[in-house]
């Protein structure tokens, strides 16, 4: 594969990453924040696949499998904390849950 195709693939990954990042920053609902986090991590996974395709080596795919596993673990603990947040404080708004300052 030539250099050009990596630019396209990386461009798509960067776009997804940026969308996810914007979502994490502006969303106040923690459920959506977690979803945007997943988008960011998976965008990085896509970037690894693209890079692996350029060098036609399995390293990129191996990293992708690691990323999937870790993203699942993050989602699991994130949802667990989300449930507790809803149960204890009756809110999943990230600003309402925030008390510590300074």
Partner 1 sequence: MNDTWFQILGALPPLLVALSVIGLFVTLCIARHERLVYAMTVGGLNLALVATIALIPLGPVAVTPLYIVDFYTLFFWGVILVATLACAAFAMPYLSGFNDRREEFYILLATSALGAMSLVAARHFGSLFVGLEALSIPLYGMVAYTFRTRASLEAGFKYMILSGVASAFLLFGMALLYGATGSLAFTNLIPAGGYDADAGPWMLMGIGMMLVALTFKLSLVPFHVWTPDVYEGAPAPVATFLATVSKTAVFALLLRLFVSAPITDNAWLLTLVGVLALASMLIGNLLALRQDNLKRLLGYSSIAHLGYLLTTLVAGASLSIEAVAVYLATYVGTSLGAFGVVSLVSSPFAGKDAAHIDHFRGLYYKRPVLAVSMAIMMLSLAGIPLTMGFIGKFYILSVTMASGLWWLTGGVIVGSGIALFYYLRVMAILFMDRPAHAREPQLSGTGDNWAQTVVWLLAAATILMGIYPAPLIDLAAVAGITLGS
- When asked if residue 29 is in the footprint of partner 1 (CB under 8 A), the reply is no
Helices 3-26/30-54 angle, 10° precision: 170
Contact by Cβ (8 Å): 15, 22: no
**26 or 84, CB closer to partner 1?**
84
**26 or 81, CB closer to partner 1?**
81
* Greatest Cα pair distance in the chain: 54
- When asked if residue 35 is in the footprint of partner 1 (CB under 8 A), the reply is no
CA geometry: angle 89, 27, 9, nearest 5 deg: 135
**Gyration radius (Cα) of the chain, Å:** 17
Query: What's the rounded Cα separation, in Å, for the pair 88 and 79?
Result: 14
**Residues numbered 66-95 forming contacts with partner 1, rule: CB under 8 A:** 66-67, 70, 73-74, 77-78, 81-82, 84-85, 88-89, 94
Please give the residue ranges that form the binding site for partner 1 (CB under 8 A).
Answer: 6, 10, 13-14, 17, 20-21, 24, 30, 33-34, 37, 40-41, 43-45, 47-48, 50-52, 54-55, 57, 59-60, 62-63, 66-67, 70, 73-74, 77-78, 81-82, 84-85, 88-89, 94, 97-100, 102
């Amino acid at each position: 594969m030539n250099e050009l195709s990596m630019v396209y693939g990386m461009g798509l990954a960067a776009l997804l990453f940026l969308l996810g990042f914007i979502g994490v920053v502006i969303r106040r609902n923690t459920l959506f924040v977690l979803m945007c986090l997943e988008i960011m991590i998976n965008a990085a996974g896509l970037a690894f696949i693209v890079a692996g395709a350029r060098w036609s080596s399995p390293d990129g795919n191996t990293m992708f499998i690691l990323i999937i596993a870790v993203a699942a673990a993050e989602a699991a603990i994130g949802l667990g904390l989300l449930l507790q947040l809803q149960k204890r404080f009756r809110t999943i708004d990230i600003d309402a849950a925030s008390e510590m300052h300074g």
